[in-house]
Amino acid sequence: MFDLRPKEEIFSKVRAHVDEICIVLLTIFHKCFISAENYVKRQINMSDLDRGPFYTYKKAWDPTIETENHKVRWDKTFSSGRKAKSEALPDNGEYGIEFLLGITIPQFEQAHKEQEWDPKERYSQFLKVLNGTFMTSWEETLETDYPDDADRTNANWTEATYKFIKRHLNCKKSCDIMWRWMESSYKKEPLVPAEMHFHRFKELIRHSKRLPPGVKPDPTDDEIKEWCFRSFCMKHRAAFLISKTLESTTNEDICESMRLAHEQDFQDGTLHRLVSGRRREARRGSNSDKRPGRSSRHDASRNGNGYEKPHHHSARYQGREERKYRPARKTYRKNDRRRRDNVSCGRQSANQINGLCILNTFCSV
């Protein structure tokens, strides 16, 4: 019944089992740590996708700015006698990243071709069209990633601009964010014509392709056609699919069909009713925000337009400054009593005068 083996043999077996158990536990802890680390990395990578779009269907600048005179200009005369004049509109970050992608960088690239700069001069001249926060981001990019002149080559130019944009936006997946927004959230406004909406859609696609590439590849032509089609209202899409299909049509055919549907809704008053209803709902929402907990229909202190009614507050809640210009109720009563007394006295004096006149006439007779 008793184990008569030596104690050393028993302890050696127990020690071996304990070592195996420790190895198993350490392996489990190591795998859990690796999985947690990978989860944190995935969360950090996915955190960029929670951000909103960097530009939307409405431009952040007035189109008249594109023709202003405060441009950076370059004049160069070559050895052959040919002269080249170039100009580019600078950017200080006031109008967002789209202004840089759509206007400043294309104009600077055109100036680079016309002026025939060498790689080192190309990096230095780009600093002239940047102001404010953009200048700071570009200087940090050069100091951190390209400190030597040997690294500032034409082959590294595209990668340098990508790093510059990532540093300024503080986002590594800016292109993925724009593709996700274009695919799911880009919608046509009711009063915007179909042609203007379609041109803006193509412009957003072109500008988004200039952002640093992310995980999601650039959309294909079929995907762009589907995104464009889904940006219109459901009523017009249903009418379009009755007689046509997306596979046999182009983006221009979709735009033309939506243009005709938009004009028909404008003529029969559908758009006017829709916009009026939205304005009415927005007005009710603003009124409910002003008086939380009560609906605008039951708000007795405001009129139908949401404005406050005059002389609605009680006199007891008035401040001292208001009481200086608005007398209390007792003063009104005193004035009314005094006015009635004056009227009654006037009537009595008039009656007395009439009586005296009558007596004088009788006496004279």
Residue 204 in any domain: the answer is yes
Residue 162 in any domain: the answer is yes
Asked if residue 257 and residue 197 are part of one domain, the reply reads yes
Band of residue 294 on the pLDDT scale cut at 50, 70, 90: very low
Say if CB 54 and CB 169 are below 8 A apart. yes
Structure tokens at 295: 């609906």
Identity at 2, one-letter amino acid code: F
Q: In which element (H, E) is residue 93 found?
A: none
pLDDT of residue 156: 94
pLDDT of residue 61: 87
Band of residue 44 on the pLDDT scale cut at 50, 70, 90: very low
Residue 253 in any domain: the answer is yes
Structure tokens at 50: 């929670």
Domain assignment of residue 220, given as a range:
176-268
Q: Is the pLDDT of residue 159 over 60?
A: yes
Task: Please state the domain count of the chain.
Answer: 3
Structure tokens at 60: 């952040």
Q: Is the pLDDT of residue 194 over 90?
A: yes
* Residue 55 buriedness (CB in 10 A; 0-12 / 13-18 / 19+): buried
pLDDT of residue 349: 58
The DSSP annotation for 303-335 comes to -TTSPBPTT-S-GGG--HHHHHHS--HHHHHHH
Asked if residue 69 and residue 27 are part of one domain, the reply reads no
Residue 181 in any domain: the answer is yes
Say if CB 98 and CB 56 are below 8 A apart. no
Count of CB atoms situated within 10 Å of the CB of 331 = 10
pLDDT of residue 359: 46
Distance CA 150, CA 335 (A): 95
Structure tokens at 233: 């209202």
Does pTM surpass 0.75? no
Structure tokens at 313: 């507050």
Asked if residue 236 and residue 218 are part of one domain, the reply reads yes
Residue 88 in any domain: the answer is yes
Distance CA 138, CA 131 (A): 10
End-of-domain residue from the set 170, 189, 207: 170
pLDDT of residue 26: 63
pLDDT of residue 19: 62
Residue 308 in any domain: the answer is no
* More confident: 8 or 27: 27
pLDDT for 171-188, tens place per residue? 989 999 999 999 988 999
Band of residue 362 on the pLDDT scale cut at 50, 70, 90: very low
Residue 356 in any domain: the answer is no
Asked if residue 117 and residue 88 are part of one domain, the reply reads yes
Asked if residue 186 and residue 149 are part of one domain, the reply reads no
Asked if residue 161 and residue 130 are part of one domain, the reply reads yes
Residue given tokens 């179909």 in the structure block: 194
pLDDT of residue 308: 60
| Average pLDDT value over all residues in the chain | 78
Band of residue 223 on the pLDDT scale cut at 50, 70, 90: very high
Asked if residue 26 and residue 100 are part of one domain, the reply reads no
Closest to 54 measured CA to CA, from 88, 92, 101, 91: 101
Mean pLDDT of the region 190-211 = 93
Q: Is the pLDDT of residue 296 over 70?
A: no
Hey, CA dihedral for 123, 125, 128, 129, is it positive or negative? negative
Residue 353 in any domain: the answer is no
Q: For residue 285, what are the CA distances in angstroms to 219, 262, 279, 288, 324? A: 39, 28, 10, 5, 37
In terms of DSSP H, where are the helices of 1-148? 7-46, 97-99, 105-115, 119-126, 133-145
Asked if residue 164 and residue 72 are part of one domain, the reply reads yes
End-of-domain residue from the set 170, 198, 228: 170
pLDDT of residue 276: 82
Q: Is the pLDDT of residue 201 over 60?
A: yes
Q: Is the pLDDT of residue 342 over 50?
A: yes
Hey, is 77 helix, strand or coil?
strand
What does the buried/exposed string (b/e) look like for 116-130 if buried means 16 or more CB atoms within 10 Å of the residue's CB?
ebebeebbebbeebb
End-of-domain residue from the set 120, 151, 170: 170
* More confident: 238 or 288: 238
Percent of the chain with pLDDT over 90: 44
Q: Is the pLDDT of residue 312 over 50?
A: no
Structure tokens at 183: 């695919």
Hey, is 225 helix, strand or coil?
helix
* More confident: 233 or 334: 233
Asked if residue 91 and residue 2 are part of one domain, the reply reads no
Hey, is 221 helix, strand or coil?
helix
Asked if residue 258 and residue 233 are part of one domain, the reply reads yes
The DSSP annotation for 155-178 comes to TTHHHHHHHHHHHHHT-S-HHHHH
Asked if residue 180 and residue 153 are part of one domain, the reply reads no
Asked if residue 137 and residue 107 are part of one domain, the reply reads yes
